[in-house]
Amino acid sequence: MAEELLTPEELEQNKSNRKKLFALIDSKNAILMAGSGCTATLYPPWKAFLDILENKALAIDPAFSGSKEDYLGFASKVKQCIGPNRYEALLHEEFKPRDKTHEPFHVTLCSLPFKGFVTTNYDSVLESALNTIYHNPENWLCLDNGSKRTIFEFIRSLDEPSPGSKRVLHLHGRYNISKSIVLCEEEYQEKYGFSIKEKERSIYEEIRAGNLSEEHFNELLLMFGYEWPIHRKMVWSLLATRRVVFMGFSMNDPYFIRMFQFVSDDVSPYDSDTHFLVLRFTKNNKDQTMKFASDLKERYGIETVLYQDDENYKGFENFISEMGNEIIPTPKADHGTDATVKSIQTKNGSEEITKELLALSKKQLENED
């Protein structure tokens, strides 16, 4: 049994937070926001992906160098080094569907009664798992390839959820739509309509200085955030008007942090449990994680639910399994159910068992909806 790293007080607080999170999801009022940690068993997690980018750049130019601490600027340098065509091909190759399109715990995750699913990932794991449950392959969209009507239908589905209407919104793009990818600094600036760079002078001082070209004026509008592209509108509306559960997020995306700052300035969710973050911690980073969790709640209204993990990285999968056991209803017995269960018990192989249990679960979910 793993060593308990939390103090009795911390453990009690985490149990309370976990109970509130499960109740929120069970109420069908939460939206899932999935980060790279949700699919790290099949695709490279964030740090590993940065290493892949670096190795590709070094293969083209052995003199290439860049700091991965500033990963937005680092990705921009890689794109400039290898060229846009190789950059797009690399993203497609790394995040296209594999032989295993999802894990069993992804099916559990997508079976939870979220109002909707949003991801910053480029892969198709969540929609693959959703399709296994609801048999609807047309269950995803990107903000860049969807029509305005499609975006409208996604937003409306959050208020009128049904098994067949659930979709995955790819906020930062999908592997097969190159123009949708949000990774480099300039891509973030274009999609979100602002820059996180420090400003030396106010926009008033810039204009007063005179001699403004149209190009520089447009740069100022971007730098000071006067444009509101659809990505910025979507993220603001989700954070300001919905309750979001973040999973697989380290919460260090500087543009997301800035969006939280905008929302906090507008609606003041300070020190609340408006949103939830499911966060991994280990023996080595426990103290920093606790401080980080406290700051998130005080500044942005994000309550943290911790799960303990080690070098085996099984903590997230176990957490989802526990969540599914508590929230997903057990199918009620009806004519033929006992025989079906007995049939399942006699079969070999987890895949067949999973499929038949999913069929039972789907029937129960449809009855409830």
Cα 16 to Cα 196: distance, rounded to the nearest angstrom: 35
Amino acid at 23: A
Question: Within a domain: residue 209?
Answer: no
Which residue range(s) make up the domain with 28?
A: 8-43+99-193+228-328
Among 255, 355, 263, which Cα is nearest to 301's? 263
Tens digits of residue pLDDT in 243-289: 999 999 989 899 999 999 999 999 999 898 999 999 999 999 999 99
Contact predicate 185/75, CB 8 Å: yes
Torsional sign, CA 330, 333, 335, 341: positive
**Please, which pLDDT band fits residue 334 given cuts at 50, 70 and 90?**
low
For residues 263 and 117, membership in a common domain is answered with yes
Cα 168 to Cα 117: distance, rounded to the nearest angstrom: 5
Residue 350 is predicted with a pLDDT of 45
For residues 235 and 359, membership in a common domain is answered with no
Among 244, 245, 248, which Cα is nearest to 309's? 248
- The residue ranking higher by pLDDT, 333 or 339, is 333
For residues 141 and 177, membership in a common domain is answered with yes
pTM: 0.85
Question: Within a domain: residue 242?
Answer: yes
Tens digits of residue pLDDT in 143-161: 887 688 889 989 988 987 6
For residues 124 and 22, membership in a common domain is answered with yes
Torsional sign, CA 258, 144, 164, 96: negative
Pairing of strands 243-247, 275-281: parallel
Q: How many residues does the chain have?
A: 369
Residue 1 is predicted with a pLDDT of 54
Cα 149 to Cα 154: distance, rounded to the nearest angstrom: 9
**Please, which pLDDT band fits residue 2 given cuts at 50, 70 and 90?**
low
Residue 90 is predicted with a pLDDT of 97
Query: What total number of domains does the chain contain?
Result: 3
Question: Within a domain: residue 205?
Answer: no
Residue 163 is predicted with a pLDDT of 67
